[in-house]
Copies of this chain bind each other. A is one copy, B any other.
Amino acid sequence: MGSENPLAPNALGPTVCVGEILVEIVATTIGDGFRQAQPLVGPFPSGSPAIFIDQCGRMGGAAAIIGAVGNDDFGRVNIDRLERDGVDVSGVAHDPDYPTGSAFVRYRKDGSRDFVYNIATSAASRFGWTPNVASLVDRCGHLHVMGSALSMPSASMVIEQAARIIKARGGSLSLDPNLRKELRYDADTEARFSDLVRMSDVLLPSGAELERAAGVDGEDAAVGRLFEIGVREIVIKRGSEGASCFQSDGTRTHAGAFDVAEIDPTGAGDCFGGAYVACRRLGMPVNQALLYGCAAGARNVTVHGPMEGAGTLDELDEFIKTTRRLK
């Protein structure tokens, strides 16, 4: 059932993700911000593109990342983790002058978060189109775009070039709008975002991102509009409501969420996406990719740290077997 798989097969070459590689330092108490010394834990490897691609690699999908780290332990934390999980890091630049990006995160009582971060003035945003990057992109089969990276001009340039090259060689493109309220977007960024929506084979929005990507209100109307402009598969992440896939032939598939005690929600959507894209590229049908996506997101929120809960295929099978599903 369902349309043809719009994702290029794993054999065409790795899924590559472009953007910020960070460490995250997490406050261990609930409260407002960082105006007092308090207990923290970190550095955890982080950054939406890094979390996505690490989960993709752990699932057994071919995986690579383009970004930059500084010459410090925070960079090494990330490189160590990504290499361990099978991610090709040949496209990661090592900045001699700027530190690895960092984000401090503290949860408030109401579940919202306070951040202190240095992304724009760190290695995380200082990378471009190098011979290493060109050589990597030439053998990639899929580009996954994190919307959060589009606010960095250098990342945007790399993404646009990579998208053209990978699509031209028969590869595919997925987009997670990942629009953060903390990041500002200007008209240029919005225009680049619209271009990428039109180039996307698969879209992975959550919440209001669907309507924003479509420019149309209402879920059905937004889905219809996105199919008109060329998107072929839309996966809506609904958190505790599970996830739904809309395929361009009209097939709809839903998967319920898992019933877990949430310890740290950061990275759930990125892990969902990494698992979903990896599964589809490995040839799995939509319902199986949704199941693993939901499991990957749910497992990741049960431990502290943005990618500490990213599971292998075996770990996710075990998780699925032992965890109650919500309807």
- In the bound complex, residues from chain B placing their C-beta under 8 Å from that of A253 are none
Complex CA–CA separation, A104 to B44 (angstroms): 14
With an 8 A cutoff between CB atoms, is A313 at the interface? no
Interface residues of A in 21-48 (CB under 8 A from B): 25, 33-44
A249 to chain B, nearest CB (A): 45
Q: Which 5 A-B pairs have the closest CB atoms?
A: A34-B73, A40-B40, A99-B118, A33-B73, A72-B116
Does B76 lie within 8 Å of A35, measured CB to CB? Answer: yes
Complex CA–CA separation, A104 to B36 (angstroms): 16
From the candidates B34, B114, B122, B308, name the one contacting A43 in the complex (CB within 8 A): B34
Complex CA–CA separation, A308 to B37 (angstroms): 10
- In the bound complex, residues from chain B placing their C-beta under 8 Å from that of A319 are none
Does A77 lie within 8 Å of B118, measured CB to CB? Answer: no
- In the bound complex, residues from chain B placing their C-beta under 8 Å from that of A72 are 116
A268 to chain B, nearest CB (A): 18
A152 to chain B, nearest CB (A): 14
With an 8 A cutoff between CB atoms, is A11 at the interface? no
Q: Report 12 cross-chain contacts, Cβ distance below 8 Å, ordered by A residue.
A: A33-B73, A35-B77, A35-B80, A36-B77, A38-B41, A39-B41, A73-B116, A74-B116, A97-B121, A100-B116, A118-B122, A121-B121
Complex CA–CA separation, A99 to B119 (angstroms): 9
A321 to chain B, nearest CB (A): 28
- In the bound complex, residues from chain B placing their C-beta under 8 Å from that of A116 are 72-74, 99-100
Complex CA–CA separation, A77 to B120 (angstroms): 21
- In the bound complex, residues from chain B placing their C-beta under 8 Å from that of A38 are 41-42
